[in-house]
Structure 1
Amino acid sequence: MNPEKLSPREAWQRYIDRRRTELTQGSISTYNYRLKLWCEWCERQGIETVSELSGWTFDQYESMRAGKDLAPNTLHNEMETLKDHVAYLERIEAVDDGLSEKINVPDVPQDERSRETKLDTDDATQLIRHYRNSESDYGTNFHVVLELAWHTGARLGALRGLDLRDYDSGEQYVEFVHRPQSDTPLKNKTHGERVVSLRREVCNVVDAYIRNERKDAHDDHGRQPLFTTIQRNRPQKGTFRTWSYRATMPCVTGGCPHGYDPDTCEFRNHTHASKCPSSRSPHHIRTGSITWHRDCGFPREVTAERVNASQDVIDEFYDKATKMERMQLRRRPHLDKLEIE
């Protein structure tokens, strides 16, 4: 087949197929979504082959997407993916060399690239203290997910992929293992594998969960997941998110800062937990955890290894300490080193 005759849809599928061996399933899904939007737009414009693409085509598409009031970072990512896709089409000689350079990837200010929302340290410690002192909530799935997410800074997929064998109470650690063949890959594949130490009080929570709450279960691959549902299987990512939202609701520790009655608030229902203005997703817990690690004096390189992220990525996207916090918590303790007398 002449590659110039590829339709936008055929080109999209071919590109995704070529990237499967180097990208995680999550990244594949993201790229698929972005290029699906592009492909559907091309079809509405009557573009039948990739040979019809031009700088004017890309400018029209960018204008259309910008008109959707997208966040600057979203538009940047979509156009960056499209640019990479067209660069692939250049390599297979489906389009003219240099066509990808005609795609504008809008600049995003540094402060808008990073994700500002996080679980604040004060809120996290207040919630954790509540759970640790609660007779009814201690060791529940809400509690143990919050404890492990906060103390390891792990991603949702890494936590979901933990097996019972990956936790060692005596040695006080959890081990994150890349197992793509049985549906629990790590984002950075084998580079994401690591052993993360835990404090004894965190292990006590995990022990209580295993002893009192965890169901004896095997997943579809015969593995014993650490976290289980009442249906006795490994929870889906949506279930994990719900547990996270429920665990971080401020009314857990007292009244509602938004004026709702906790006894009648619809956000207390698991299907609406994400709508609570103060509840936080696993990603927001991870962001807050990384900032907390740095504020507690963990060096950048130690934090990076513990949470499986590069030091540059941590600085740009995750470490949300204010200028004052950086001064008070990170630099002031070193002030005595400057004493002259």
Structure 2
Amino acid sequence: MTSGPKDLTPRAAWHRYLDSRRTELTEETASTYHYRLKLFGEWCEENGIETVDELNGWLLDQYESYRSGQGVAATTLHNEMETLKTFIEYLERIEAVEDGLAERVSVPHVPSDQRSRETKLSTEQALELIRYYRSDGTLYGSKRHALLETAWHTGARLGGLRALDLRDYDRDEQTIEFVHRPESNTVLKNKREGERVVALNERVCETISTFIQTNRHDKHDEHGRQPLFSSLQGRPKPGTLRVWMYRATFPCIATECPHGYDRETCEFRSHSKASQCPSSRAPHHVRTGSITWHCDRGVPREVTAERVNASQDVIDEYYDKSEERDRMEKRRRPHLNKLNIE
């Protein structure tokens, strides 16, 4: 007898849900949803939940408490539970769970002004990591080093980093180019409007060139293109690139663990648990920190906007995480000479 929707495992159910939405989601968004639901699916498996029919309000509340107890940011928890609620609504529609279960998913309220203050890779942590990578003979020019330094210097999105080909990097001109190539399955979020050439400084070029010469996998993707950040299989999936960034931003690479874990035995250092390290950061967090750094260093807003492909208004609202005192200083300092009374 053919099994019905109630017999779906959480893992099979979340894959089925994402497959049903492939035509309406960008690959980057689908990857984000996959990651959030993967966390839920793994929690179900660890807690002996074999089919979605077993889900109830108590279990959903337990999951929220579990994620909250891991110290995730309020915005992160809000987004994860919102995605979970949409997933449960899908399960209701296919009659895999009881009607009304989605209403029992608690989505923590986060004021809109706080949502814009999402977790970022701090400038202090980023520069400490990059300096360590540059000084360490073993890690210099590694995949993690090159990925972090490129992302921090350009403020690029995950999709933009994944879309880069070897040919998009020009050592002589010291540039890297982001190109929208939908015909071969690498799209930029803003499509043609997202295309741009970004200037690099000499030290970043040295890092990328060393990576290409010593550590890059010489692979082609299924379209015959050569990804800049390649895996043994070719062009990495968005989720793979995300894990690489989590691993690239482990604080214990450069310092002692700030959370008291032993580096040799810490479970977060494994591929599957990297995202659970309280101090590791996803590509979006690196982008947020990078744009803040650009602003703090006095790079004009219009220049930053062009480099990172975001409007000036969006940068102000969502990405520039400067403290209000710093914002005041940036506003008033250029005008102080106008106030001289001599």
TM over 0.5: yes
Task: Supply the AA of the counterpart residue of 1:69.
Answer: S
3-state DSSP of counterpart to 2:198:
strand
* 2:219 equivalent in structure 1: 217
- Structure 1 stretch 317-326 or stretch 29-38: which is displaced more? 29-38
CA 1:111–1:262 in 2, change beyond 3 Å: closer, same or farther? same
Mapping of 1:88-107 within 5 angstroms?
none
Residue in structure 1 matched with residue 134 of structure 2 by the alignment: 132
CA contact (8 A) 1:267 1:273 kept: yes
Say yes or no: does 1:237 pair with 2:238: yes
Aligned match for 2:105, one of 45, 55, 68: 68
Structure-2 residue corresponding to 1:270: 271
The equivalent residue for 1:202 is 204
**Closer, same or farther in 2 for the Cα pair 1:225/1:30, shift >3 Å?**
closer
Q: Deviations over 1:150-182 (max 9, x none)?
A: 000000110011001100011011100001111
The one-letter amino acid of 1:202's match is V
**For each residue in 1:22-46, what CA deviation from the matched residue of structure 2 results, as whole angstroms up to 9, or x when unmatched?**
x744457889977664454356599
Amino acid at match of 2:176: V
2:159 & 2:170 partners in 1: Cα distance? 20
Q: Indicate conservation of the 8 Å contact 1:216/1:232, yes or no.
A: no
State the distance in 1 between where 2:90 and 2:278 align.
Answer: 35
1:219-258 deviation line (CA, Å, top 9, x unaligned): 10001111112x2511111221111111111111121110
1:252-263 paired onto structure 2 within 5 Å: 252-263=253-264
- Contact 1:175 1:196 (8 Å CA) reproduced: yes
Q: Kindly indicate whether the alpha-carbon contact (under 8 Å) linking 1:72 and 1:112 is maintained by their aligned counterparts in 2.
A: no
2:92 to 26, 38, 41: 41
2:191 maps to 1:189: yes
Q: What is the alpha-carbon root mean square deviation over aligned residues?
A: 3.0
The residue that corresponds to 1:152 in the other structure is 154
Report the secondary structure of 2:313's partner residue.
helix
**TM-score of the aligned structures, taking structure 2 as reference length:** 0.72
Secondary structure of the 1:174 match is strand
Q: AA paired with 2:305?
A: A
TM-score (norm 1): 0.72
Q: What stretches of structure 1 of length at least 5 have no aligned partner?
A: 1-11, 47-59, 74-108
Question: Matches of 1:27 and 1:340 in 2, distance apart?
Answer: 56
User: For 1:28 and 1:239, how far apart are their aligned partners in 2?
Assistant: 13
Q: Which has the larger radius of gyration?
A: 1
Structure 1 residue 268: Cα displacement: 1.6
Residues 158 and 328 of structure 1, relative CA distance in 2, 3 Å threshold: same
Matched letter for residue 269 of structure 2:
R
Q: 1:268 to 1:331 in 2, by over 3 A?
A: farther
User: How many percent identity over aligned positions?
Assistant: 57
Corresponding pairs, count: 276
